[in-house]
Structure 1
Amino acid sequence: MDAYLIAMLVFAGFYALMALGLNVIWGLTGMVNLGLVGFFALGAYASALLTTKLFWPMPLGWAAGAVVAAAAGAIMALIVARLRGDYLAIVTLGFAEVIRLTASNEIWLTNGTDGISGIPGPWRGDVSPPEFNLIYLGIVWTAVAVVFVLLARLSHSPFGRVLRAIREDEDVAAVAGKPVLWFKVRAFTIGAAVLGGAGALYAHYNAYIAPDGFAPLLTIYIVLALTAGGVGAMRGAIIGALFVIALLESTRFLSAIIPGVSPVQKAALREGAIALSLILLLRFRPQGLIPEKTRTKATP
């Protein structure tokens, strides 16, 4: 049971990193990004390939995963930054599917649907599996703490205030003299870098990656995590990730104890319980568990 809880906390850390990255793109800047899993996959594959085929050290592989995803994010932002709303969501969703299909078909590079195995992990093989999980738990949540501090400072900086202005009304921000496109590109790049770093960490924890592991459902979970925690709030991204992991795993045990139903019915009941919980949360707490704090000057 302890090993299971530790593993879930590790995955909660991955979710928290992804939610923090999404919060820069969507929460602060207002750009709807449904291609999260594409940047996550880019970071995972970049780090896995560099460490297994070129034998790079793991820290360099993690950094390379973030850099590759950031570069893809910058290129993507230049293409889609002028799109808004549903159009932006559709294009970013298509980007994620292109990455997944490319990984499935470019066998010479990614080994196709067979995936990449034998990805090294820190001290894997030198310590017991429980000890490895504890070590990786510390690594992942250290990364979450560092990213949280950096993004929280960015959020309260003049750069963050411009992003919020663009989120509220980018035409007004442009009239005020702010280069809206340049700010959008930088925000997208920063968010994509965090997503790619999360993917790199995931690859070295799981020791195996394949295209099926980067389905669009993961994006939905991260969007739900940020929505539940509080869009625009860095603390809300972390709390929302913990909430979603707890909800997903607790309902797994809840459906297992219901007598007289088939496994298919139990799975349906579990999905229904998750959906009902999220609907109730968004109905009675639409601003999220930790809503964003806005700073306004009092009227003289």
Structure 2
Amino acid sequence: RCPVCVFQPWQSEEEGSWLREYPVTLMQFFRYLYHNVPDLAPMWHSPEFLCALAAAVFPFNIRPYSEMVTDLDDEAGSPTEEFKAFAGDSGMNRSQSEYCNVGSKTSLTNHPAKKYVFDFMRVLIMDNMCVTPATKQTPIIDLLLEASPERSTRTQQKEFQSSILDSVMEHLLAADVLLGEDASLPLSTGGSYQILVNNVFYFSQRVVDKLWQGMFNKDSKLVVDFIVQLIGQSKRRSQGLSLDTIYHCLNRTVLYQLCRPHKTVAQQVALLDALRVLTVNRNLVLGPGNHDQDFVACLAHCFICLHSGR
């Protein structure tokens, strides 16, 4: 089991204490091993390690969240009293008992090592994109997205998945990843440009999947901008590259924006902004490069519904 996943109570510790500094040092050591010990390569890609790595950024719960929810619905017992009894019997101090009683926690840990964990996950995902086709084995991005521990809440899972996706999206755009030799992101040893392109397009599909599933908590226009920039990079790099997959991602994102509820003022403002972005990119969305005829029919349906006030 990966030791980094055992983040003990640390909030009451002073700056520079072992509980604050050791997890950071451990993550830096992992990065060193990753880049300098090739024999460990299979471990970094194993589901067991990735699940343990993901668990490191979730707050520690005594029991799975599903059990706590069951107890909350059970009039015969009191989870609060149960946790009090647990803390009292075990001799835990105040900060420890508060740390364990996280049924009400809705966010990930704010330990200083969290940034290093997410950075390492991004490195693993990016390196995997260059080498392993998504069709040959389960990509690391999928293993990590579904690696939330059983004790986690849906809100925590959403924050976790959004953080991973947003980090990789920013990195891909900053590196102009699809420009080939002109990109600022060098291919990993043994990697190929075609594998990278296919995996970036696959990653885009997963972003849109999570958007539709309600697990991506960022603004949907960030996804549109991400996909539009990828299409632009692809066209600059090669005229012979098939863009059907990435256009399909764009189409799904546009339809997602147009079919959202628009009852409140905030929702209506978001809809107007989506229509503005669609207008700005109309030559791309409705241009000859977009061959999806079903999209045109769905788009027309959305416009009819909006016009009729539905």
TM-score by length of 1: 0.29
Larger proportion of helix: 1
Q: Which has the higher contact order (CA 8 A, sep 6+)?
A: 1
